[in-house]
Amino acid sequence: MDDSGLFGAVGALPDIRNPIYVADALRQQAHTRGPLGRVPPHFLAGPGAARWAARHHISQAADLATEEARLTHREHTVRLAAEADPVAWGHDTVGCVCVDAQGRAAAGVSSGGISLKVPGRVGEAALFGAGCWAAREAAGRGWAVRGASVTGIGEQAMQALLARSVCRQIARGSVLDGCDAAVRQFQQAIPRPQSGPSSANSAPLAGFICVQGTLEPDPAAAADALTGHVEVGWAHTTPSMAVGYCTDTMEHPRTFISRAPVEGKTVL
């Protein structure tokens, strides 16, 4: 998604090495009209998405499953058949938010989903407002930009439209306060069983990275160059989340694992 609101997504799409390329191709043609005035798709899934990718010459791969993934799948299948205790399923979502020197923002997210997911299931990564969000608006002589990318239990992020919620909350003030407000809103949006075996496994679990900046023309630089202040934030209700960030003044990005000091504790 870019900060003009153009959006593209794919879901339930196997055998594509970089499905976000397909999503971006959909985004780029989202403002055009097809033959007979047809509105172009923003979101494609399943075999139709694969055929669209092939028509647009986006490379496919025969088999993307690693041996480690095969072993994990076999282990989880055995545990499921034996009705064993729940396992730490893990998530493989990767997301990114960018702001360039011209004050444009974009966000993306890609996920293989969860282990043993139901065939055809589509998570939050592909859903408008849930997996990623980017926005820009006029502010003084320049622009206010923001974006977010989400990970966690997809069905819960969908209910909260979490990425859009994060951007709306950080727009009200600082990134720190906005992250806190977005987490609280997310937790309140998820219905919790009062009792029974599912109540312990229904805690709202998600995380996100976000960026907010105010940029104005730089009188000492080229005509289209901007200068200003950009804040980076992250938060998660999961036990841990991988985080990384980089600026144009850094030689290498900084990456680390953010960990909650206590189970169930929110990290901002």
- 8 Å CB contact between 124 and 158: yes
Nearest CA to 264 out of 212, 215, 200, 210 is that of: 200
Confirm whether 93 is a catalytic residue.
yes
Give me the phi and psi of 21, to 5 degrees please. -65, -40
For residue 137, which amino acid is it? Answer: E
66, 77, 93, 255: which is the annotated catalytic residue?
93
Q: Where are the beta strands (DSSP E) in 55-205?
A: 94-99, 105-110, 132-139, 142-152
Name beta bridge partners: 235: 208
Cα–Cα nearest to 43, from 62, 63, 61, 19: 19
- H or E element: which one contains 73? helix 67-81
Closest by CA to 190, choosing from 170, 162, 171, is 162
Cα separation, 89 vs 91, whole angstroms: 7
Q: Is 6 exposed, middle or buried (0-12, 13-18, 19+ CB in 10 A)?
A: middle
Q: Which residues does residue 230 pair with via DSSP β-bridges, in sequence order? A: 213
* Tokens matching residue 80: 């499921």
Residues marked as catalytic: 93
